[in-house]
């Protein structure tokens, strides 16, 4: 959880002399989500005032789950803040290489399987008895038969394919 919380507090801004009454609500919310304040490795101001009535401050914060090893360091980059008055917060997120292994069912476009699938669907729909739909229950029965036609016909014509990280994107 990260962002501009607009809460000045001496817990994260040593130049601010007060303890905010709003910090308890923010910390309670963070704790309810299993998060803790994650200070940057280079602490500093996160907002630079654009007028003389305000002062520079630390109001942009990062909270993370301390048990998540996927997050690396958190740094402030005041050199990148223009034209904004807020300093970019950069968090390293580790992305592990994983084997993506999904199974899909498909029918190749313009194939013989697609042609046979369409013929089978058409014949099965034409054979569906819709003459005695006089009640809600009868309609539900016909709709269930129609759903079964599509499901059964699909799986009898489609081919199972395994998608991995080495599969072609297209």
What pLDDT, in 10s, does the model give residues 98-147?
A: 666 688 899 999 999 999 999 999 999 999 988 889 999 999 999 999 99
Does residue 160 sit in helix, strand or coil?
A: strand
If pLDDT is split at 50, 70 and 90, which confidence band does 3 have?
confident
Tokens of 18: 């007060």
Tokens of 115: 């042609």
Please, where in the chain does CATH 3.60.10.10 lie? 2-93
Q: What gap in Å lies between CA 126 and CA 59, rounded to an integer?
A: 67
Domain 2-93: top CATH class: alpha beta
pTM for the full model?
0.54
Q: Tell me the sheet residues that pair with 74.
A: 91
């Amino acid at each position: 959880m990260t962002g501009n919380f607009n809460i000045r507090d001496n817990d994260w801004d040593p130049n601010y002399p007060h303890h905010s009454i709003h910090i308890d609500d923010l910390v309670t919310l963070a704790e309810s989500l299993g998060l803790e304040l994650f200070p940057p490795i280079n602490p500093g101001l996160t907002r630079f005032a654009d007028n003389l009535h305000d002062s520079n401050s630390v109001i942009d914060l990062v909270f993370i789950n301390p048990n998540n090893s996927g997050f690396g360091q958190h740094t402030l980059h005041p050199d990148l803040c223009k034209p904004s008055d807020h300093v970019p917060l950069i968090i390293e997120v580790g992305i592990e290489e994983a084997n993506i292994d999904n199974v899909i069912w498909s029918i190749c476009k313009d194939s013989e399987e697609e042609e046979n699938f369409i013929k089978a669907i058409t014949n099965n729909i034409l054979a569906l008895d819709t003459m005695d739909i006089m009640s809600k229950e009868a309609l539900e029965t016909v709709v269930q038969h129609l759903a079964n036609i599509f499901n059964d016909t699909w799986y009898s014509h489609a081919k199972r394919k395994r998608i991995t990280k080495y599969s072609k994107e297209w």
